[in-house]
Structure 1
Amino acid sequence: MGKVFNNRWFLLLIITLTWGSSFMLIKKTLVAFTPYEIGAIRVVGSGLLLAFIGIPAIRKMSRSTLLWVTIVGFFGNFLPMFLFPIAQTRVSSSLAGILDSLVPIFVLIFGYIFFKIKSEKSQILGAIIGFIGATSLIYFSEANSETSQFAYAMLIVLAGASYGVNAVLIKQKTAEVKAVELTAAIYTVWAVPSLVILYATGFVQNFEMQDAYVEPFIYLLFLTTFGTAIAMLLYYKLIQNTSAVFASSVSYLLPIVAVIWGVIDGEKFTFWYILGGVLILIGIYLIREKRKNPKLVPRS
């Protein structure tokens, strides 16, 4: 079983299915909860689930490591948790998933700007092709509907940029921290300000479980446990086992899952979805982490 969870393609598949479904889950929870409540509950809930690992991990970290862990958490585990539900008050779940596919582009950009990380030509080509596929899906799906508001759509782009910074920093600054401890420490740290936000919304003082809240609350619990804590743990493990570029390529597969859920929920399906999906898969193939051929040592 351990070998399975170390397989990069298996991790990529699980993260894709989980995060690709998160956009629809956010849509369903917005029926009963505000965007700030959703974001705060996801972080606080994950922090409580992982605190028994996070607190000991934080205690043994150096100040420098803890600082970088906190910064990584802000860009990958705190800020996007609020940006997505805020954006999805005006942007459809499928379009949100599509726009999130821009993350690998930001990884390439920030990797070069901050750390002068040069990408292979095939990776750059793959990012471009994947971006074209995502763009075609944007244009021919929900981009022209009245539910698509440009300012809110840009919040998804900002979240993608935030994930891009997060992925680069994980590989460059926190590679020595085990994925489980990194994830647990991040949510433990950011659970505190998230709890303050949750209290400020009035949720803690005024919440009463009503019949209308039961189903959205179940979706929120699933989103917190699997879409936040567990999926992020697997994502960090994938980054540390491969590269920020390869791990972020999960964002190219998310639109496929998000669009499928959108169709199930009654959104329109066209030929352009197929074309965009094929281009995205080609981009994934080109942007993948290539294994170097081992050198043969001649027998003496």
Structure 2
Amino acid sequence: MPNSTLKWIYLFLLALVWGSSFILIKKGLVGLTALQVGSLRTVFAAIFLLFIGVRSLRHIKGKQWMWITFSGFFGTFFPAYLFSFAETEIDSAIVSILNSTTPLLSMLVGIVLFGAAFIRKKFVGVMVGLAGTTALIWSGASVNPDQNYWYSLLVILASLFYGFNANVIKKHLQTLPALAITTGNFMVIAVPALIVLASTGFFSVETFSAPHAPLSLLYIGILGVVGTGAALIVFNKLIQISDPVFSTSVTYLVPIVALGWGILDGEKFTLIQLLSGVIIIVGVLIVNSKPKKR
């Protein structure tokens, strides 16, 4: 199958999987803390990848381990905690829409740090998208005054980290198999995640005897294996056969799935918030549009 077709299949598959991840985080937080959810997500994914991808690590040579480490922490480790803490205060659907700023931030990172070409139309798209982000945060704070919308900045920071990661993979890890990148990421961050998990008192009897803990563990197990481990293999492959901006544009399909889950779960969502989300998506579409041939 040609890459031009395969990249769209990967894109829609990731949208379905990652669109469901926000509601899984929300359900995981019912019986677990944010630190536990972030850590367990990483640990479950690492165990899964250890079984299927350990042989692929032989492809990683020398200096590539430095970029694998960077990719592991900025592409997975830190965002896992940032999203978990964000959802302790704001709705999962809003988090997913804010996450759609990733392509915009990816382009900015590419221009500032990776020598990507500056294109005026794409910069306009970034400004449009960020305007929609501001409107979404403002309207959300008005509709849900009981929620602390300063936590939305955690989502923006996680999206910025995703932008760094996409550019690093494209520039420094292009020649590695996607499975090797993903497995290497989790082999690096698994131990720090276990240390954080142990510091929360997770391995005590009280944690497992809590009424909602077993079901929360199931949700995070699904999130770790399917929504993190398996999905990142597909995502890293998508970056390699396309480019950072196209691959991160999965984040403007993700909110459609996440919004559906949020509505089913009783989350409030107004017309103003919907319009703000549309503005963000318009900005991303501008960023992803191809320049006209002269």
Fold shared per TM-score above 0.5: yes
Alpha-carbon spacing, 1:143–1:257, altered in 2? closer, same or farther (3 Å)? farther
Residue of structure 2 in register with 1:37 after alignment? 36
The 8 Å contact of residues 246 and 287 in structure 1, kept in 2 or not, is answered as: no
Q: How many residues align?
A: 292
Q: In the alignment, is residue 229 of structure 1 matched against residue 229 of structure 2? A: yes
Taking the aligned partners of 2:146 and 2:254, their CA distance within structure 1 comes to 20
Provide structure 2 residue ranges, at least 5 long, that are not aligned to the other structure.
Answer: none
Match of 2:179, SS state, is helix
- 1:210 shift after superposition: 5.7
Residue of structure 1 in register with 2:148 after alignment? 149
Residue of structure 2 in register with 1:110 after alignment? 109
Instruction: Provide the identity percentage.
Output: 35
Letter of the structure 1 residue corresponding to residue 12 of structure 2? L
Residue of structure 2 in register with 1:128 after alignment? 127
The 8 Å contact of residues 11 and 238 in structure 1, kept in 2 or not, is answered as: yes
The 8 Å contact of residues 130 and 252 in structure 1, kept in 2 or not, is answered as: no
Residue of structure 2 in register with 1:48 after alignment? 47
Alpha-carbon spacing, 1:221–1:125, altered in 2? closer, same or farther (3 Å)? same
Alpha-carbon spacing, 1:66–1:260, altered in 2? closer, same or farther (3 Å)? same
Letter of the structure 2 residue corresponding to residue 164 of structure 1? G
Residue of structure 2 in register with 1:219 after alignment? 219
Match of 1:124, SS state, is helix
Residue of structure 1 in register with 2:196 after alignment? 197
Residue of structure 2 in register with 1:171 after alignment? 170
- 1:111 shift after superposition: 0.8
Letter of the structure 2 residue corresponding to residue 173 of structure 1? H
Alpha-carbon spacing, 1:269–1:150, altered in 2? closer, same or farther (3 Å)? closer
- 1:119 shift after superposition: 4.3
Taking the aligned partners of 1:143 and 1:254, their CA distance within structure 2 comes to 24
Alpha-carbon spacing, 1:7–1:60, altered in 2? closer, same or farther (3 Å)? closer
Residues 22-76 of structure 1, C-alpha deviations (whole Å, 9 max, x = no match): 1111111101111111111111111111114543333442220111111111100
Match of 1:249, SS state, is helix
Taking the aligned partners of 2:164 and 2:239, their CA distance within structure 1 comes to 13
Alpha-carbon spacing, 1:61–1:268, altered in 2? closer, same or farther (3 Å)? closer
The 8 Å contact of residues 103 and 284 in structure 2, kept in 1 or not, is answered as: no
The 8 Å contact of residues 169 and 239 in structure 2, kept in 1 or not, is answered as: yes
Bigger mean CA deviation after superposition, 137-146 or 150-159: 137-146
Taking the aligned partners of 1:44 and 1:8, their CA distance within structure 2 comes to 28
Alpha-carbon spacing, 1:269–1:13, altered in 2? closer, same or farther (3 Å)? same
Alpha-carbon spacing, 1:148–1:105, altered in 2? closer, same or farther (3 Å)? farther
Alpha-carbon spacing, 1:133–1:152, altered in 2? closer, same or farther (3 Å)? closer
Taking the aligned partners of 1:5 and 1:204, their CA distance within structure 2 comes to 47
The 8 Å contact of residues 104 and 129 in structure 2, kept in 1 or not, is answered as: no
Provide structure 1 residue ranges, at least 5 long, that are not aligned to the other structure.
Answer: 294-300
Residue of structure 1 in register with 2:263 after alignment? 263
Residue of structure 2 in register with 1:78 after alignment? 77
Match of 2:267, SS state, is coil
Match of 1:203, SS state, is coil
Residue of structure 2 in register with 1:241 after alignment? 241
- 1:220 shift after superposition: 1.2
Letter of the structure 2 residue corresponding to residue 45 of structure 1? F
Match of 2:208, SS state, is coil
Alpha-carbon spacing, 1:285–1:109, altered in 2? closer, same or farther (3 Å)? closer
